[in-house]
A and B are shown apart, each in its own frame.
Chain A
Amino acid sequence: MARRGVSVVSGRLTGVSGCRCEIAPPSLLLAVAERGDPRVRDAALRTLLTSAALRSRRSSLGPTLRRLGISPADVAFLPARAPATGPDNTVYDMAGGDEGSLPGRRVRGSADAPVADTAVNEAFDGAASTAAFYRDVFGRDSIDGRGLDLVSSVHFGQRYDNAFWTGDQMVYGDGGGGVFAAGALTRALDVVAHELTHGVTQFAAALQYRGQSGALNESFSDVFGSLVAQWARGQDARAATWLIGEGTLEPTLGGALRSMIAPGTAFSGDDQPADMDGYADLPVDDDPRNDNGGVHVNSGIPNRAFAEAARALGGRAWETVGPVWYTVLTDGRLRPTADFAACAALTVTVAGERYGEGSPQQDAVRGGWEAVKVRLAADPR
């Protein structure tokens, strides 16, 4: 597979040995990487990236990787150099610019005090809280598990009603475009954590963003987005609202983006099904109405399975069902094309491994999937 002139095989740079060009300036290597023949391009790119990684942190590679159409996951062979102090956390100001001007002007770094811009501070704090959650709860070293620096860009576009993970950094619009309240996208910790969890998924299960695997991708982001917010509040699963993005929408639209416990009730027009009886069998095509096969629609089904299991057990969801979902997302058994049934079966298996066969935790996980009518293998008891 070739992407923007860079030879890549199965999403990884092809290995080329015998060419070490440390004395070549980066600009020359970049020019070669963009225009040379495939073997020379690979060698130049590998040298460029390796030398950059050795002299600096991997976050500095983001713009170069993006320019060449490569994901950080494609260069996982590079050495990670996260210091004991944890990944750097840096926020940039896009001042209304678009993709072409990412990441923007640096306005706050790890050691800097808060600035006058609320969005900057919220993006900084949201990234820090999310990374702290993954570190303290699951022992994960940043988004990629290898100390990837946290990079956020705020004030993207004009009244841009969205936040997204590019593959190597966070991007936030200001809202105010008719869907989100102005300033809401950085204010909501669960939204911040939702997007950063797309990064975790990218580096872990790499769930394909289409159909049921895409709905699982969306659901894992909601699950851990909600858990980060509950963890930050020290909130019990039975006290949690299980709403995603509560208070972020323009008030006339509704109260939240999604309800994990009651899918389809979050806002006026919310069409998430609460169980498989209402599954939206949308085609995977280029029609925007079909949402890549319903990734934001059917995610309500696994969302509810998690929320039901967590509520049944009570207590801190990040300590009960959360570890089961985290193991499933990250331990390599969940395939990129997994469907709901495969994910459900794996959560039951992992719950048994972690808490014991027939344990209350495993029963709660099984009960969650049964509530949403995802078929499971018969309980052997």
Chain B
Amino acid sequence: MVRSGGVAGMVLTVDVDAAELDPDAATALTVLVDGCDLVDGPPSTVADGFAYEVTVAGDDGSVRRARFGQGGAPPGADALVAWVIDGSHGTRRLGR
């Protein structure tokens, strides 16, 4: 997941591998991904709004990706973003 913009203008990338999560967290992530409609949404309409990219790579080699701005998340994406960005799972990197 990539988040950019905001007043800081930083690019934050969070990578979460479900195989490395504890069972409860893996289940929670699976539920959130399954409940997320991964389609592009409108960009943020405000200066310093966030922009997001969510990419889900499946075990079968499939890759789904959605890009949207703050306030324009497709159904289910807000919850997934909150779990990944605000949670303590995965690895985080700042930079383009």
Minimum CB–CB distance for B47 against chain A, Å: 4
Cα distance A269–B6 when bound, in Å? 16
- Contact residues on B (Cβ < 8 Å of other chain), bracket: 20 to 34
Chain B residues numbered 2-59 whose CB sits less than 8 Å from any CB in chain A: 2-12, 40, 43, 45-53
Interface mask (A74-103 → B, CB under 8 Å = 1, otherwise 0): 000000000000000000000000110000
Judged by a CB distance under 8 angstroms, whether B95 is at the interface is yes
Judged by a CB distance under 8 angstroms, whether A179 is at the interface is yes
Asked if A164 meets B9 with Cβ closer than 8 Å, knowing A158-B82, A286-B67, the reply is: no
Cα distance A198–B45 when bound, in Å? 12
Judged by a CB distance under 8 angstroms, whether A167 is at the interface is yes
Judging by beta carbons under 8 Å apart, are A286 and B96 in contact? no
Judging by beta carbons under 8 Å apart, are A166 and B46 in contact? yes
Judging by beta carbons under 8 Å apart, are A271 and B46 in contact? no
Closest to B94 in A: A269
Judging by beta carbons under 8 Å apart, are B95 and A297 in contact? no
Give how many A-B residue pairs fall within 8 Å (CB-CB). Answer: 102
Minimum CB–CB distance for B41 against chain A, Å: 10
Cα distance A164–B11 when bound, in Å? 17
Judging by beta carbons under 8 Å apart, are B7 and A163 in contact? yes
Judged by a CB distance under 8 angstroms, whether A195 is at the interface is yes
Cα distance A180–B8 when bound, in Å? 9
Closest to B40 in A: A286
Cα distance A51–B51 when bound, in Å? 37
Judged by a CB distance under 8 angstroms, whether A177 is at the interface is yes
Judged by a CB distance under 8 angstroms, whether A380 is at the interface is no
Q: Among the listed A194, A217, A271, A295, which residue makes an inter-chain contact with B96, where contact means beta carbons less than 8 Å apart?
A: A271
Judging by beta carbons under 8 Å apart, are A164 and B95 in contact? no
Judging by beta carbons under 8 Å apart, are B6 and A161 in contact? yes
Taking CB atoms, residues of chain A closer than 8 Å to B60 are none
Judging by beta carbons under 8 Å apart, are B11 and A288 in contact? yes
Q: Among the listed A159, A163, A177, A249, which residue makes an inter-chain contact with B48, where contact means beta carbons less than 8 Å apart?
A: A163
Closest to A225 in B: B7
Asked if A162 meets B8 with Cβ closer than 8 Å, knowing A167-B46, A177-B86, A209-B47, the reply is: yes
Taking CB atoms, residues of chain A closer than 8 Å to B6 are 161-162, 164, 179
Judged by a CB distance under 8 angstroms, whether A296 is at the interface is yes
Minimum CB–CB distance for A95 against chain B, Å: 16
Judged by a CB distance under 8 angstroms, whether A33 is at the interface is no
18 contacts between A and B (CB under 8 A): A99-B70, A99-B71, A158-B86, A162-B49, A164-B6, A165-B46, A165-B47, A167-B45, A178-B92, A180-B8, A194-B7, A198-B47, A202-B47, A258-B9, A288-B4, A289-B2, A296-B5, A296-B8
Judged by a CB distance under 8 angstroms, whether A253 is at the interface is yes
Cα distance A225–B39 when bound, in Å? 37
Minimum CB–CB distance for A272 against chain B, Å: 9
Judged by a CB distance under 8 angstroms, whether A308 is at the interface is no
Closest to B68 in A: A286
Minimum CB–CB distance for B5 against chain A, Å: 7
Taking CB atoms, residues of chain B closer than 8 Å to A110 are none
Chain A residues numbered 290-310 whose CB sits less than 8 Å from any CB in chain B: 291-292, 295-297, 299
Cα distance A202–B48 when bound, in Å? 13
Minimum CB–CB distance for B14 against chain A, Å: 9
7 A-B pairs with least C-beta separation:
A296-B9, A288-B51, A288-B4, A162-B6, A198-B47, A269-B95, A164-B48
Judging by beta carbons under 8 Å apart, are A288 and B7 in contact? no
Taking CB atoms, residues of chain A closer than 8 Å to B85 are 177-178
Judging by beta carbons under 8 Å apart, are A164 and B94 in contact? no
Taking CB atoms, residues of chain B closer than 8 Å to A291 are 4-5, 9, 11, 51
